[in-house]
Structure 1
Amino acid sequence: MPKLHKQYISIALFLLGMIVSACDDTEFVPEYAIEVPENLGDFLPQNERNLITEKGVLLGEKIFFDQRFSSNGKVSCASCHKPEKAFTDGVALSNLGVSGKALHRNSPTLANIAWADGLFWDGGALNLESLSFGPLTHVDEMNNDLDSLVGWLSDDPDYYPLFMEVFPNLGVSSASISRALAQFQRSLISANSKYDQYARADKNIFSSAEKRGLQLFTQHCSSCHQSDHFTDYSYHNNGLDSVFTDTSFEEVFKGRYRITRDPEDLGKYKTPTLRNIALTAPYMHDGRFPTLESVLLHYAEGVQKSETLSPLLKEGGKVGIKLSHQEQSDIIEFLHTLTDKEFINKY
């Protein structure tokens, strides 16, 4: 696992002038500084057509928590991405949307989502700018109409001037709604956990069990949950199922295959970050495991064979990861050190 550096570096994101052309709606971006921990890569990944501004982040935050963006006025983005649960919802398959019907996928954390390459469990959204359209319009989530939203916001004395200030070229539009939400989500940086304190300077902060857990985690888990992001942002079949039968229209139970149509991607899902993992139960793309104990037990005893099973789970001719009960317990002790209380208490 790469070594952490001690200091934070402040990055100034700025655009010196406005570039205007017939096909370019890039906005002028005043200087705005966000502290990015050096161990997360020294920089904040951005969309060059939607560079972060302070007021853009604040507008996105306002939208994120506003229930009026749903058709019944009772559901916001935060309904399924609650700050106190590290921007998850604590439900296996969320039924917190407008219809009350359970969705097909577990709500993932938004922590450090700026670094994600491909979004949703199968990578179906290319970037944060395209991510929000699905939840905003899905009949079982917020069930709204983009044209109706634009009409309401254009007449709203509170929102309208904010949009015009942040996005003077776009004004109020579906694009500016998604861009504001994207800016807010890129600002959701979690990197001040007990683990981070340990790695940066305080080697005495860990208990013996946490130190053993870190060693075991590095040995058995860090191939997929890499670096201090605790994910490789890639897709793996981690042995949840042996067959992948799905005759539904959306084919959500076939994993990455739904997007690529490559049989090699059957049963593969994005590796989730483990930051704040103690707060984001239940686990996996369908929320099938209620506790961290059940997750570790799966890897030790429950991995299912299939053609696309990750090679990392069948090394030495054996399926799964051999872990004693004590080793599983130690890994869980370490995973609890990834909780960032400052992050979850910020909103």
Structure 2
Amino acid sequence: MKINFSYSILLSLILTACSKKESVDPEPQIYQFAVPANFPRPVFDIENAMTREGIELGRMLFYDVRLSGNNKVSCASCHDQKLAFSDGKALSNAGVSGTILHRHAPALVNLAWANNGLFWDGGATNLESQAFGPLTASDEMHQDLFELVDELNAVPEYVKQFDLAFKDQISSQNIVKALAQFQRTLVSANSRYDKFKRNEAEGNLSSMELRGLELVRQKCQSCHTGELFTDNAYHNNGIDADFSNDQSEGLFQGRFRISYNPADMGSFKTPTLRNAALTAPYMHDGRFTKLEDVIDHYSGEIKVSPTLDKTIPTNGFQFNPDEKKAIMAFLNTLTDEEFVTNRELSRP
């Protein structure tokens, strides 16, 4: 009887402890990704399933200056929500060293559909691997990953959040997984154009805006494809003709720097047209300060080289003034005010 009584108490204590553990430390909740009605299906990394806990952790990390070596730079330093997660600079100097970078910081938008490499030259295969670049680059966040893990381990809230998100300790792999999960929630699909496309309220387009849409579909569709307004591919769009004297580690040779395919010389990743009115300056080096400059370039300022994209006429598209105004009018309909004010994407 004594043994049975002790066994009963022990079993009761174990079950109580398990019950408490389950109530305090539940399994991560799978995030139900809502695909906009006019969008294609996204591409997810099956080894990094999106969870509510992982996304919230990624959001905390995205805005945390602890991710930089000097504790002064966060991801948001170069990716500002009110600018559609761009930074408004041609070339940023917000990194730890203060050095002006060689490439323009791209806007972060609809990354769940980015299935063909990241960075302007496609040098990263996915969001998880991409994050290691800015985290460790000496002119960007310049963080030692071992020190970062130690630093976050000293913060009880992070220890708790990593356990909730991954059932695991803090590690550099889990840091980039959380960042990737949050960035995949940066979905912009509620512009006036989208509401027009889905026959929703406030979705009316003027005759000039409709004419601009028609022109974009006729002239720009080969690169700025579909509802994403990007093909996520790489093209030489005629902003340069000579790539032979590049002293910056091949950065201005574009995709060729990664692929070593001569056909890729001068080719850069197609940015989306979504929120284009908010993401100036433009191109991989931020050379164009206004959208009007971009339209002028495609209209008749093309620099011809052997790898110029075949869909771009060597003399440009020769837009007349009314067509330029129409294109501008349409591009403004792609601004998503809900995206740039969504509190779920803002600093925690």
> Please, what TM-score do these two structures have when normalized by structure 1?
0.88
Equivalent residue for 1:140?
A: 139
* SS of equivalent to 2:35: strand
Deviation at 1:247, TM superposition (A): 4.2
Structure 2: gaps spanning 5 or more residues: 1-26
Map 1:34-183; keep pairs closer than 5 Å.
34-41=33-40, 43-116=41-114, 117-169=116-168, 171-183=169-181
Deviation at 1:263, TM superposition (A): 1.1
Equivalent residue for 1:234?
A: 233
* Count of aligned pairs between the two proteins: 315
CA distance in structure 2 between the aligned counterparts of 1:205 and 1:249, rounded to whole angstroms: 47
Q: Is the 8 A contact 2:209 2:329 kept in 1?
A: yes
Deviation at 1:249, TM superposition (A): 5.6
Give the % identical residues.
Answer: 50
Deviation at 1:301, TM superposition (A): 1.5
Pair member with larger Rg: 2
CA distance in structure 2 between the aligned counterparts of 1:233 and 1:299, rounded to whole angstroms: 19
Residue 338 (structure 1) aligned with residue 337 (structure 2):
no
* SS of equivalent to 1:35: coil
Deviation at 1:34, TM superposition (A): 2.5
Q: Is the 8 A contact 2:192 2:203 kept in 1?
A: no
Q: Is the 8 A contact 1:245 1:253 kept in 2?
A: no
Equivalent residue for 2:259?
A: 260
Deviation at 1:155, TM superposition (A): 2.3
* SS of equivalent to 1:227: coil
Deviation at 1:325, TM superposition (A): 1.5
CA distance in structure 1 between the aligned counterparts of 2:203 and 2:182, rounded to whole angstroms: 35
* SS of equivalent to 1:333: helix
The amino acid of 2:285's aligned partner reads D
Equivalent residue for 1:188?
A: 186
Deviation at 1:329, TM superposition (A): 1.2
1:319 alignment partner, one of 312, 315, 320: 315
Deviation at 1:29, TM superposition (A): 5.3
Deviation at 1:99, TM superposition (A): 1.4
Q: Is the 8 A contact 1:246 1:253 kept in 2?
A: no
* SS of equivalent to 2:134: helix
CA distance in structure 1 between the aligned counterparts of 2:341 and 2:230, rounded to whole angstroms: 23
Deviation at 1:345, TM superposition (A): 0.4
> Please, what TM-score do these two structures have when normalized by structure 2?
0.88
Q: How well do the aligned residues superpose, as a CA RMSD in angstroms?
A: 1.4
Deviation at 1:319, TM superposition (A): 2.7
CA distance in structure 1 between the aligned counterparts of 2:311 and 2:30, rounded to whole angstroms: 44
Deviation at 1:228, TM superposition (A): 0.4
CA distance in structure 2 between the aligned counterparts of 1:247 and 1:310, rounded to whole angstroms: 21
* SS of equivalent to 1:228: coil
Q: Is the 8 A contact 1:128 1:182 kept in 2?
A: yes
Q: Is the 8 A contact 1:246 1:252 kept in 2?
A: no
* SS of equivalent to 1:225: coil
Q: Is the 8 A contact 2:84 2:278 kept in 1?
A: yes
Q: Are residues 247 and 306 of structure 1, via their aligned partners in 2, closer, same or farther at CA, if it must alter by over 3 Å? A: closer
Deviation at 1:123, TM superposition (A): 0.2
Q: Is the 8 A contact 1:213 1:332 kept in 2?
A: yes
* SS of equivalent to 2:237: coil
Q: Which moved more, 1:269-278 or 1:65-74?
A: 65-74
Q: Is the 8 A contact 2:28 2:164 kept in 1?
A: no
* SS of equivalent to 2:105: coil
* SS of equivalent to 2:32: strand
Q: Is the 8 A contact 1:29 1:51 kept in 2?
A: no
Q: Is the 8 A contact 1:246 1:254 kept in 2?
A: no
Deviation at 1:246, TM superposition (A): 4.1
Deviation at 1:235, TM superposition (A): 0.5
